[in-house]
């Protein structure tokens, strides 16, 4: 198995996020990826390469792929946001502070930076700092290069992406996410000739952005197992009756589970999603991997144990299709490396 990684993510490190009414240090931090990398090296799970090493053309092609998933005005907003913010004399993180309410008659894009911050986000959980743009453009290249490698030869590729992406929609950020790395990887595989991509999201949180991007499409089958939206963030999507629309009708499945669910409940949902994926006869699987389903996660509410990730990898391997793993969440920093490593070991060693 080959891992794709780039150092650029270190430049993105938010200062604070809201938790229970208080500003606390961001859970989503550079050490998360460092811990995963350390575990992969220790376990000798295979070569760790940069995007340019495996796919030199990525530097001239990533923007085209990105623009098929995200709107150009949103990309331009992110590209220029910090320059505008610092020109206004600010040095601290940017955070949005106002969103359009329901029944707003016509939502126009404000000129002010505060207005655009609200327009291009759904929460205050995606701070922008000086290094955000270099980090998110680096990591989107990690995702594209991983997809390219899967297309060329490998049966398993791991994209060590950070920050995560599954909450980001076509023109909005939120929940630590800016660009939807998994959606971009799926798009690259389609551009390389794949007809059908299955996208399985096992992060604790509903992949609302990914669902939104592919909701009306039948070329990407979206499956998500997550905390019940009645109780869990982001809370407005992820119900089982959201099944797609138009040509995408029937190509979206959600498996909401109650807080406190453990491997016995979780693995039943996985089995259902794998039946769907097998039936779809996908050319490749994009796995949005969050290990925040772990019992020790500080912001999530499932009860998976470290050994369960080996079984998870094995069950996914039984679907017998090429898999590109895209890293999403996981905030128990001490165990994030072990849990990720276990998933990858399971994927490579079916029972
Ligand atoms: C990103 B990913 C709950 C606060 C939630 C945002 C969580 C974003 C998770 N008390 N804050 O899906 O791992
Ligand atoms: Zn998550």
From the CA of 98, how far away is ligand 2's center (Å)? 24
| ipTM of predicted assembly, 2 dp | 0.95
175 lines ligand 1 (CB under 6 A): yes
Strand-pair category, 16-19 with 22-25: antiparallel
Q: What is the mean pLDDT of the chain?
A: 97
Ligand nearest to the CA of 161: 1
- State the virtual CA torsion across 302, 303, 306, 309 in degrees, nearest 10: -50
pLDDT surpassing 80 at residue 156: yes
- Which alpha helices (H) appear in 284-332, and where do they start and end? 308-317
Residue 311: HSE in the Cβ half-sphere, 13 Å Cα cutoff:
13
125 lines ligand 1 (CB under 6 A): yes
Tell me whether residue 9 is exposed, middle or buried, using C-beta atoms within 10 angstroms of its C-beta: 0 to 12, 13 to 18, 19 or more: buried
How confident is the model over 254-281, as pLDDT tens digits? 999 999 999 999 999 999 999 999 999 9
Strand-pair category, 252-257 with 284-289: unpaired
- C-alpha 291/C-alpha 270 separation (Å) is 15
Quick one: pLDDT at residue 247?
Answer: 98
pLDDT surpassing 80 at residue 13: yes
Q: One of 166, 167, 206, 301 is an active-site residue; which one? A: 167
Contact 277, 295 (CB under 8 A): no
- Domains belonging to the chain, first-starting first, are 2-71+130-348 (3.40.800.20)
Quick one: pLDDT at residue 95?
Answer: 96
Confidence of residue 153 (pLDDT cuts 50, 70, 90): confident
Q: Which helix (H) or strand (E) covers residue 67, if one does?
A: helix 58-69
How confident is the model over 110-131, as pLDDT tens digits? 999 999 999 999 999 999 999 9
Tell me whether residue 102 is exposed, middle or buried, using C-beta atoms within 10 angstroms of its C-beta: 0 to 12, 13 to 18, 19 or more: exposed
- Please state the pTM of the whole predicted model: 0.98
Confidence of residue 351 (pLDDT cuts 50, 70, 90): confident
What are the contacts of 227-231 at 24+ separation with CB within 8 A?
A: 227/256, 227/257, 227/258, 227/259, 227/300, 227/301, 227/302, 228/256, 228/257, 228/258, 228/259, 229/256, 230/256, 231/258, 231/259, 231/301
167 carries an active-site annotation: yes
Quick one: pLDDT at residue 154?
Answer: 80
Contact 148, 186 (CB under 8 A): no
Instruction: Determine the atom of ligand 1 nearest the C-alpha atom of 300.
Output: 3
From the CA of 102, how far away is ligand 2's center (Å)? 26
Nearest residue (by CA) to ligand 1, atom 4, is: 19
Nearest residue (by CA) to ligand 1, atom 13, is: 329
331 lines ligand 1 (CB under 6 A): no
- What SS3 state is found at 304? strand
Contact 322, 284 (CB under 8 A): yes
Quick one: pLDDT at residue 223?
Answer: 98
pLDDT surpassing 90 at residue 350: no
From the CA of 195, how far away is ligand 1's center (Å)? 32
Q: What is the mean pLDDT of residues 26-52?
A: 97
Q: What is the mean pLDDT of residues 237-260?
A: 98
How confident is the model over 197-231, as pLDDT tens digits? 999 999 999 999 999 999 999 999 999 999 999 99
Cis check for the bond before 21: say yes or no (omega within 30 of 0): no
Task: Check residue 46 and report its DSSP letter.
Answer: S
């Amino acid at each position: 198995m080959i891992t794709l990684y780039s150092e650029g993510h270190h430049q993105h490190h938010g200062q604070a996020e809201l938790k229970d009414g208080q500003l606390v240090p961001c859970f989503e931090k550079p050490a998360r990826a460092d811990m995963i990398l350390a575990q992969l090296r220790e376990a000798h799970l295979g070569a760790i390469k940069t995007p340019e090493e495996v796919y030199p053309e990525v530097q001239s092609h990533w923007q085209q792929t990105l623009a098929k998933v995200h709107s150009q005005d949103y990309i331009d907003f992110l590209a220029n946001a910090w320059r505008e913010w610092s020109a206004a004399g600010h040095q601290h993180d940017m955070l949005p502070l106002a969103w359009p309410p329901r029944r707003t008659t016509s939502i126009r894009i404000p000129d002010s930076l505060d207005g655009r911050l609200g327009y291009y986000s759904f929460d205050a959980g995606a701070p922008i700092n000086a290094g955000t743009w270099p980090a998110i453009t680096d990591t989107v290249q990690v995702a594209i290069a991983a997809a390219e490698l899967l297309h060329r030869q490998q049966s398993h590729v791991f994209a060590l992406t950070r920050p995560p992406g599954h909450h980001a929609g076509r023109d909005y950020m939120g929940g630590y996410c800016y660009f939807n790395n998994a959606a971009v990887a799926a798009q690259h595989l389609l551009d390389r000739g794949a007809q059908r991509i299955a996208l399985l999201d096992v992060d604790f949180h509903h992949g609302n952005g990914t669902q939104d991007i592919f909701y009306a499409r039948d070329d990407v089958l979206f499956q998500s197992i997550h905390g019940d939206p009645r109780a869990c963030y982001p809370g407005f999507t992820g119900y089982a009756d959201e099944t797609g629309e138009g040509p995408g009708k029937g190509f979206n499945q959600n498996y909401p589970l109650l807080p406190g669910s453990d491997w016995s409940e979780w693995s039943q949902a996985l089995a259902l999603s794998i039946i769907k994926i097998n039936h779809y006869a996908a050319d490749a699987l994009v796995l949005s991997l969050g290990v925040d389903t772990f019992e020790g996660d500080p912001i999530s509410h499932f009860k998976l144990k470290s050994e369960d990730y080996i079984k998870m990898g094995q069950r996914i391997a039984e679907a017998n299709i090429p898999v590109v793993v895209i890293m999403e969440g996981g905030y128990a920093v001490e165990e994030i490396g072990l849990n990720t490593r276990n998933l990858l070991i399971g994927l490579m060693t079916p029972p």
